[in-house]
Structure 1
Amino acid sequence: MKKITTYLCLAAITVSLSACTMANGKSTKKSEKISLNHEIEKNKTYAKKDFSFEVDPETFAISITENGKKATVSLPQESREVADLHQTKAEISWRYPTEQIQVNVKKEDNHLAVSLTSSSDEDHSFSWPKVDAKNYILPIGEGKTIPNNQKDWLSYFKENEELSMSEAFSMSFFAVNQETFATTFVMDNTFNSDLVTKTEPHLTMEASHQFIGFDKNKSMNYRLYVTDNDPVAIAKTYQMDRMNLGQFKTLDEKEKTNPEIEKMRGAIQVYFWNSRILNTDDIKWAKLPSMTDEPIFQWIGDLLEQYGEDGSAEYLAALQAFKNNQGYKYEKNTFLTALNYTLLYPQFYNPDIFKNPDKTAQKLLDKGIESLSEQEYYTLNKHLLADALGALAPPLEKWGQATSSEVFKEMKQAGVENAWVGLPNWANGLMNPELVKTANNEGYLIGPYDSYQSIQENASIDWNTASFTNKTLYENATVTKKNGEKAAGFLGKGRKLNPTLISSDVEERFTGIMKNDIPFNSWFLDTDAAGEIYNDYSPDHLTTQSEDVAGRLKRMDYFSKNGLVVGSEGGNDFASQDMVFAHGIETPVIMWSDPDMRENKESEYYVGSYAALDGGIPTKYKKVVPIKEEYKAIYTDPVYSLPLYKLVYNRSVITSHHWEWDSYKIKDQVNERRITEYLYNTPPMMHLDKSAWDERKKDISQNAKIWSPFQKAALQHEMTDFKVLTDDRLVQKTQFGEKLFVIANFSDSNYENDGLEVASKTAVIENDGKKTIVKTND
């Protein structure tokens, strides 16, 4: 999908990763179980128990002493009036009467428990803790280590002084590197919590919590853990905390209720673009000039004028050009776009135009157009158009297959054994069910993008995800902000839906899509795991952020129970038990706010638009662009990256990039991101159509032959360790269980240690003593 100028040749040197390789046989299950129990048991050893604490209730400063070393882990705030102070050796509690906050601090076995409880019936905020350290460990995306004086991070936090934790954080903690130990502040969840930062004279942070007056639960709970200054200790302690809360579920457990999940193991991630059932090669263009006055073509113009967002002028101009024997590439694309677009219209049938329907069309007409499913009226429209086009197009069963189904067959023949295929819309599958059937037959997962974030009052076909049969939803099921305004939908269009109020509408959409047994076996739910959580102040349906999330999880569960492998944008771990895969943890959306990337089309950094002239990959996903130097530290530089999420959820959630930033998108970083994908067990992601597949199939297939067995092995274990092997942090190692590890060398120099050499800009996989080298010719 990205138009890259060079092929990427994967060098797979020595050894394959097969056979005992990836230990997938039943004979290994018992030993695997023992190994995993050992890996999990080790988590309990990271949190230190032998520490003491001191609290100043007036300033809410907390100090911890561990192994004789004392550190103020929460800085003093302005002094407050204190009431009802009670203290024992292990516990202290008090009340701030002015703020109406009750505080309780208690030393538990392996942590310090801190609870903040509001007694107010009004919304109000309370800030704690305030931290100041030389370095911070934050779960931004996959994970970041942030020095307090790094210039690019200071610029980032100067622009983002207040981050919503439920959006910015993938997990519910933040950690601070003290001089001799680390303190990790773990929350039950990050709802209604912000990270407030200051950048002068260096980076400091404070957590701000909003207590909602109508929320029945007005407590904010922290567990403060003390560990070594090691990201592994921090992440594994958080994993133990989630397990203790009963908020952890492995892929193995998820597979027991849905065996289709197994197909995700070792799968590359593909967004497939084929919005046309009729393509350039399907049309006999030499015949068109003599047919331009046919009623069908005038009818298509009428449909576009009445129902199309952009009207019919462009189409009619192209038609006239063909009539004058002046139809070239632009006119061909305009003509094809119009034909394919109007096939989506329920209003396509016109008895004055289609006077002799074939048997299939007549049978559907006899049912009554109003009673047809979405797939059935697409079928009707295709048959009507095929009859009207006559010799201008091939038989209907051949329409579009060379650029869709045949690509999946070629992928399998080329050695791509496992793939997840995402379609940009369910309509792409319903219009071309053979494409979905073929992907399924090749053993791939395939599913549509779907969204319940926004609703529009009069949504066009282009925004069918924002359209619902129930017209009362726009007024009665949308989110109201505290000031009484309705929360705007995506790109400012329409409104945000309250997920707790639309369960029946989700079911109605789903059953309508699946009515004719389209063989989707996966489903992608936009934004459900990406934050953007709301308190709904609508008087008729007051809803807290916690209830908002519960509504999303109920939705995920609905699709899972229908046998679908469910994924979502983001991957924030409030959804970790319900989703199987997530897009956006590894590379999130980069700088929405930069006009050079989003608005200035002349800029080299402009990421592209949602349009695709040829019906293939939109330039937003196809165009290869550099990112500015100041953004690399924030998004891609391995120096500041940590596999925190993988250390917690490697066996639970398969994570990859946001679709806007696939593996090929960033200029001059394809190789760096390739070796990071192996280091972090991150599936490669790409946007494909027939053209992009032809361009990249050598690299994709060679990489898939290494990727698939590697990930199948890595998913059998925890990520058990992460190490930085050089002072410049450019050589890093991850470990999966006892026998599988990856060393990635991001530097310009070769690395050698204990007889193992890792060449510059490569990664080495070693599994049970067998080595594989990964790199690209970027």
Structure 2
Amino acid sequence: MKKITIYLSLAAITLSLSACHFNKTNATSKSEELFTHAEIEQNKTYAKTDFSFEVDPKTFTVSITENGEKAEVSKPQKAKKVMDLKKSKEEISWTYPNEQIKVKIKKEKNHLAVALTSMSDEDISFTWPKLDAKNYVLPIAEGKTIPNNQNEWLAYFKQNEELSMSEAFSMSFFATNQETFATTFVMDNTFNSDLLTKTEPHLTLEASHNFIGFDKNKTMNYRLYVTDNDPVAIAKTYQMDRIDLGEFRTLDEKEKDIPEIKKMRGAIQVYYWNSRILNTEDITWSKLPQVVDEPIFQWIGELLAQYGEDGSEEYLKALAAFKNDEGYKYEKNTFLTSINYVLLYPQFYNKDIFKNPDAQAQKLLDKGIDKLSEQERYDLNKHLLAGVLDNVTPPLEHWGQATSSDVFKEMKAYGIENAWVGLPNWANGLMNPEMVKTAVKQDYLIGPYDSYQSIQENASIDWNTASFPNNTLYENATVTKKNGEKVAGFLGKGRKLNPTLILPDVEERFTGIMKENIPFNSWFLDTDAAGEIYNDYTPDHLTTQSEDVAGRLKRLNYFNQKGLVVGSEGGNDFASKDMVFAHGIETPVIMWSDPDMRENKESEYYVGSYASLDGGIPTKYKKVVPIKEEYKAIYTDPAFSLPLYKLVYNRSVITSHQWEWDSYKIKDQVGERRMKEYLYNTPPMMHIDKATWDEQKQDISENAKIWSPFQKAALQHEMTDFKVLTEDRLIQKTEFGENLSVIANFSDQEYEADGLKIAKQTALIMNDGKEIVIKTEG
């Protein structure tokens, strides 16, 4: 791991670690509104109005002429039969009778409107436009600029000849760089649309649209904009298109409805791992050999044998080892994993084992086990266990706090003012509500991972997100393919749920989790903004992709209405109005299909597994790995990266990495990615547990003291500009309003211009004449 050093210029030294360093003195909300109003007004100017167009209906070739320069922006296709041709100066329409498609093109003030309408009641596909350009600008994750002859991208597209736009694109457009201008094809949405790629002799693209027979909306709309050859112009023009459609909402607007959002500004992103309420520190191991024959330990073995996915064999071996005074690290972890696991079981209470429950346990028993909330059930099980283990454990109120609550208190003491804390499951919070209360007392946001993507018929307790009390959902609320097969769930287990049919079950789960008023103030919904959407051909509930997404947005809004700060995986902008933060825009999942990364455990590229031997971070999230050279251009190389999403949504959605690829995950790229986090206003993300916090707290906290005030200032503005300052594209600059900018030098050479000297592998933050240098050292 590279060491990151933060240097402060003399001009900034006295104020550098204070939020006031970045905040304008006495700045009023009214003046901030004026700033952003001026920025939005500027954004309206990028789309050109003085262009003309020509169309050949037979080949659907579209040419644009701007400032005397003409370009075929959609290349000729194979000639088709044309009927009903009508043409005027500003409008042309016709039909393709064989393809059952009607086309209408009209010149509007600042764009060319193209409508493709299906005339069929069956599923049909139609391909348009056909693109052949020297360079493409695509909203893949945060954004990419892709030359048509770049080797790594050619290899990537050779493996991915058909990309679902709703999954591959974070926004609903694609653009080409012509010789003297850019053309941006903006869609209402990317549903039922695929990007078809060809790599010989160079990269060409086509868009294929699937019209669904039972979909009442038979029209696919494009708005074709002409701008300068500048990613800022492309992105800002798209932003204005979204605003015109009513599909844009700022954080300021969201915060009026959900005041807790203010805690998200300047927050580092933390996934916290503490799946045990009983930890190594909570067991007096020297006393354990004398009590391993107690009935409680045999009962735990019986529970594991009956309900545990892995059975009880390893647990019983560990007991035998303790009895022989041979309980070492592996045995201790097996023992702790087993005990913490059975505490989740509704079947834990056994009157023959727990003969003298304490007052709290008896109170809950008197209420009736089947009437307890999930949190009460865990509370009962903890009290029952504490009653029979009091000679080897501390008082119950101390269980697990050294590895959870105490860490949050120390984070605050180390100067981390703002943090979002994600728990891997709501059960982690319900088992340890004191941890959640402590995080909230530090003014942190904290919430669980939750998922409504899949359902399993007989889900184990490990898959509680795939389990629902409503036993009719598996047959009656799952997605069917056109061929009649059910769509398989995550990792091939179970089935995919139709989001339009399960809102009552969402409400039931949430109500159950919150029944004892655990103070979660955030919620993370897996995949709802990741674009993995479906047409459901189940005869009883035919559902289009548009309706599927509407169901997801209704779910997101349900959590918004509870006053929670809501985020999701992916960040695709169909959810931009309803989410506050997104994980996966800046670094998406890297090559899910590569066996060296996912299956071959001997490979240096193997990312790790979901298993955790000590109850802390699974190796999938902790192990530092390199990525293959051929993937760097696709995922991390700044030369091919564009802040397209940030140029559109900087004031609307806070984006970070997908949790598998946190800020520390990629070997030899920690420093480079940190520079990019400042350049793009991307919160640092990390997985921590007690051990990792102890190891990295100096770096995490020092960076957070700079990050938090920086982002609070950056979020007051649009990302107003992005510039590439050198031909190799390794010196880049972003601006947030008039007074805050970042220059990142990703190269191995010093950069000098306009009186500035920026060392290699260094980022420079400039705010109102003050400077902060973030330098990486090998």
TM-score for the superposition, normalised by structure 2: 0.99
Distance apart, 1:26 and its partner CA: 6.3
Q: Distance in 2 between matches of 1:399 and 1:25?
A: 46
Q: What is residue 149 of structure 1 aligned with on the other side?
A: 149
3-state secondary structure, aligned to 1:208: strand
Partner of 1:711: 711
Structure 2 letter corresponding to 1:608:
G
Q: Aligned to 2:697, what secondary structure does the other structure show?
A: helix
Aligned twin of 2:635: 635
1:720 lines up with 2:720 in the alignment: yes
Counterparts of residues 98-113 of structure 1 (less than 5 Å): 98-113=98-113
CA deviation profile, 1:257-289 (whole Å, cap 9, x unmatched) = 000000000000000000000000110111111
Q: Deviations over 1:433-455 (max 9, x none)?
A: 00000000000000000000000
Q: Return the letter of the residue paired with 2:336.
A: L
Q: What residue in structure 2 maps to residue 390 of structure 1?
A: 390
Could you say if the C-alpha distance between residues 53 and 573 of structure 1 is closer, same or farther in structure 2, counting changes exceeding 3 Å? same
Q: How many angstroms does 1:323 deviate by? A: 0.7
Cross-structure match for 2:346: 346
Does structure 2 retain, via aligned residues, the 8 Å contact 1:24–1:712? no
Deviations 1:531-574 (A, max 9, x none): 11000000000000000000000000000100100000000000
Report what 1:442 is aligned to.
442
Please give the secondary structure, in 2, of the residue aligned with 1:336: helix
Match of 1:121 in 2: 121
Cα distance in structure 2, aligned partners of 1:26 and 1:772: 22
Whether the 8 Å contact between 1:10 and 1:777 is mirrored in structure 2 is: no
Other-structure match for 2:626: 626
Does the CA contact (< 8 Å) of 2:480 and 2:487 recur in 1?
A: yes
1:736: which partner in 2?
A: 736
Cross-structure match for 1:465:
465
Structure 2 residue aligned with 1:540: 540
Hey, what does 1:500 align to over in structure 2?
500
Q: What does residue 47 of structure 2 align with?
A: 47
Query: Shift of the alpha carbon at 1:759?
Result: 1.1
- Which residues in structure 2 correspond to 1:320-719 (within 5 Å)? 320-719=320-719
Equivalent in the alignment of 1:276:
276
**2 CA distance for matches of 1:94 and 1:360?**
76
Secondary structure of the 1:155 match is helix
Which string of whole-angstrom CA distances, capped at 9 and with x for unpartnered residues, describes residues 334-387 of structure 1?
000000000000100000000000000000000000000000000000000001
Following the alignment from structure 2 to structure 1, what is the Cα–Cα distance between the partners of residues 462 and 736? 44
Distance 1:19 1:524, change over 3 A: closer
- 8 Å CA contact 1:744–1:762 kept in 2: the answer is yes
Does structure 2 retain, via aligned residues, the 8 Å contact 1:7–1:696? Answer: no
Question: Residue type of the partner of 2:487?
Answer: A
Deviations 1:457-496 (A, max 9, x none): 0000100000000000000000000010000000000000
Give the letter for the 2:690 counterpart.
K
Distance 1:234 1:605 in 2: 36
Letter in 2 for 1:552: R
Q: What residue identity is the alignment partner of 1:700? A: I
Q: Is the 8 A contact 2:474 2:495 kept in 1?
A: yes
* Superposition deviation, residue 430 in structure 1: 0.2
Over residues 386-422 of structure 1, what are the superposed CA-to-partner deviations in whole Å (9 max), with x where a residue is unaligned? Answer: 0111211110000010010000000000000000000
Contact 1:21/1:713 (8 A) holds in 2? no
Letter of the 1:89 counterpart: K
> Using the alignment, how far apart are the partners of 2:272 and 2:777 within structure 1?
25
Deviation (angstroms), 1:324? 1.0
Structure 1 residue 44: deviation in Å? 1.3
Matched, 1:161 2:161: yes
Q: What is the Cα deviation at residue 777 of structure 1?
A: 3.3
Query: What is the root-mean-square deviation of aligned Cα atoms in Å?
Result: 0.9
What are the ranges of 5 or more consecutive residues in structure 2 without an aligned counterpart? Answer: none
Match of 1:255 in 2: 255
- Summarize the Cα distance change of 1:406–1:272 in structure 2 as closer, same or farther, 3 Å threshold: same
Contact 2:103 2:117 (8 Å CA) reproduced: yes
Residue pair 1:143, 1:644 contacting (<8 A) in 2 also? yes
Structure 2 SS opposite 1:319:
helix
Identity %: 80
One-letter code aligned to 1:497: L
What is the identity, as a one-letter code, of the residue corresponding to 2:571? G
Displacement after TM superposition at 1:174 (Å): 0.1
Once the two structures are superposed, residues 102-157 of structure 1 have per-residue CA deviations (whole angstroms, 9 ceiling, x without a partner) of: 00000000000000000100001000000000100000000000000000000000
How far apart in 2 are the matches of 1:281 and 1:18?
Answer: 37
**One-letter code of the match for 1:427?**
A
Give the stretch that moved more between structures: 136-145 or 766-775.
766-775
Whole-angstrom distance in 2 between the partners of 1:13 and 1:674: 19
- Can you list the C-alpha shifts for 1:279-338, whole angstroms capped at 9, x where unaligned? 001101111111111000000000000000010001001101111111100000000000
C-alpha distance in structure 1 between counterparts of 2:33 and 2:176, whole Å: 34
Greater shift in the superposed pair: 283-292 or 332-341? 283-292
Correspondence for 2:306: 306
- Using the alignment, how far apart are the partners of 1:112 and 1:377 within structure 2? 61
Which SS does the other structure have where 2:457 is aligned? Answer: coil
Deviation at 1:18, TM superposition (A): 3.8
Partner Cα distance (2:46, 2:360) in 1: 67
Alpha-carbon offset, residue 27 of structure 1 = 4.0
Shift of 1:176: 0.2
CA distance in 1, matches of 2:472, 2:231: 49
In 2, Cα distance between the equivalents of 1:409 and 1:270? 14
CA distance in 2, matches of 1:74, 1:766: 42
- Structure 2: distance between partners of 1:275 and 1:202: 50
Deviation string for 1:31-50 (max 9, x for gaps)?
A: 21111101000111111100
In structure 1, runs of 5+ residues without a counterpart are none
What is the rounded CA distance, in whole Å, between the counterparts of 1:19 and 1:541 in structure 2?
Answer: 52
Question: Structure 2 CA distance, aligned partners of 1:429 and 1:153?
Answer: 43
What's the CA shift string for 1:658-699, capped at 9, x where partnerless?
Answer: 000000000000000000000000000000000000000000
Q: Distance in 2 between matches of 1:541 and 1:420?
A: 38
Counterpart amino acid of residue 623 in structure 1: K
Output one character per residue of 1:475-530: Cα deviation in whole Å (capped at 9) or x when no partner: 00000000100000000000000000000000000000000000000000000000
Question: Is residue 194 of structure 1 aligned with residue 178 of structure 2?
Answer: no
Contact kept, 8 Å, 1:285 with 1:392, in 2: the verdict is yes
CA distance in 2, matches of 1:466, 1:583: 21
Tell me, what secondary structure is at the counterpart of 2:776?
A: coil
Change (3 A) 1:27 1:12: closer
CA displacement, residues 690-711 of structure 1 (integer Å, 9 cap, x when unaligned): 0000000000000000000000
Q: Kindly tell me: are residues 17 and 647 of structure 1, through their superposed partners in 2, closer, same or farther at Cα, counting changes over 3 Å?
A: farther
| Letter matched to residue 612 of structure 2 | A
Say if 1:688 and 1:328 are closer, same or farther in 2 by CA, change over 3 A. Answer: same
The 1:129–1:417 alpha-carbon spacing in structure 2 relative to 1, beyond 3 Å, is: same
Deviates more, 1:94-103 or 1:16-25: 16-25
For 2:8 and 2:421, the matched residues in 1 are separated by: 25
- Contact map agreement 2:272 2:424 (CA 8 A) in 1: yes
Deviation, 1:19, is 5.6
Quote the offset at 1:20 in angstroms: 4.8
Call closer, same or farther: CA 1:179–1:650 in 2, change over 3 Å: same
Partners in 2 of 1:776 and 1:74 — Cα distance?
45
Distance 2:3 2:100 in 1: 63
Matching residue's letter, 1:140: I
Superposed displacement of residue 774, structure 1: 1.1
CA–CA distance in structure 2, aligned partners of residues 735 and 110 of structure 1: 26
Whole-Å separation in 2 of the counterparts to 1:647 and 1:604? 36
Q: CA deviation at 1:9?
A: 4.1
8 Å CA contact 1:319, 1:335 repeated in 2: yes
Tell me the SS of whatever aligns to 1:566. Answer: strand
Give the Cα–Cα distance (whole angstroms) in 2 for the partners of residues 26 and 549 of structure 1: 42
Work out the CA distance in 2 between the residues paired with 1:330 and 1:716. Answer: 51
Q: 1:775 is paired with a residue of what secondary structure?
A: strand
Secondary structure at 1:62 match in 2: strand
Kept after mapping to 2: 8 A contact 1:567/1:580: yes
In structure 2, the residue corresponding to 1:288 is in which secondary structure? helix
Do 2:521 and 2:565's aligned partners in 1 also have CA atoms closer than 8 Å? yes
